Amino acid sequence: MAQRPRPRRPAMLDPAEAERIQGDEDPAARSEVAHTTAQALVNRGREEAPDDPELVARLIRLVDTEGLDAIAILWARSPATTLPGTLWRLYLLREWVRRDPRTVAERYRLGVHRAEVAGAVAGVADPPGPDEVSEVADAVLHGLFDGDLAVALERAGAFLRVLATGSALDADWIEHDDDQLADAVTRRGGALLATAEELEAAAELHRLGRLD
């Protein structure tokens, strides 16, 4: 049987669709596009992961190729405990780690001794350095496409719980409050904890078959 051709990179939105969901468009249309693209992305990754590990690698690097703004257009306005809202938080977390792994590693190091249970779930190698936190950020997304999705979400939540503890101990780590990554995922300890709870709630919804 001939294999069907695979595109070099995962298909997202064509230009017409991207244009349609920008601005003050119909919220229902925006929600439909967000859910459709999120489900297509995760379903394709999970269906093809066993036979195409390079596809999974490209999905993990989605922000690297598509850009953070393109991902934000798709999913940033989606509620936290939906699949598109969950994807937005996970990709934003990875982008934060990719841009500033030393800061993330330092916050993690500060927090892990006070949040030992969460640290065990997060599974960052000891001692936690830039490479170790980057590996976990990638591993969480890998788990979405080639593993137990609920476990991946719980691991991300635990990772954020440790970072929330570390950030509370060093609250002045964001120099510019208007930085794009000074978001609900990365702004301060309380917001990091809230995002951790959202991801854990999403994990439970997935187990119940209600994360869509």
Q: Decide if 166 contacts 108 (C-beta within 8 A).
A: yes
State the residue range of the domain holding 196: 15-207
How far is it, in rounded angstroms, from Cα 154 to Cα 86?
12
Whether 1 is covered by a domain: the verdict is no
Q: Is residue 10 part of a domain?
A: no
Instruction: Indicate the average pLDDT of the chain.
Output: 83
What's the rounded mean pLDDT across residues 183-191? Answer: 61
Residue with tokens 């892990």: 112
Judge if pTM exceeds 0.75. Answer: yes
Whether the pLDDT of residue 100 is over 80: the answer is yes
From CA 151, how far away is CA 50, in angstroms rounded?
18
pLDDT at 176 over 60: no
9, part of any domain: no
8 found inside a domain: no
Q: Residue 189 has what pLDDT?
A: 74
Please check whether residue 3 lies inside any domain of the structure: no
Number of domains in the chain: 1
Percentages of the chain per state (helix, strand, coil), in multiples of 5: 65, 0, 35
Q: Quick one: which of 120, 67, 113 has its CA closest to 91?
A: 67
**In this structure, is residue 4 part of a structural domain?**
no
Does residue 63 belong to any structural domain of this protein?
A: yes
In a domain, 2, yes or no: no
So what's the pLDDT on residue 185?
47
Q: What is the CA radius of gyration of the chain?
A: 17
Angle between helix axes 101-112 and 83-99 (nearest 10 degrees) is 100
Amino acid at 203: A
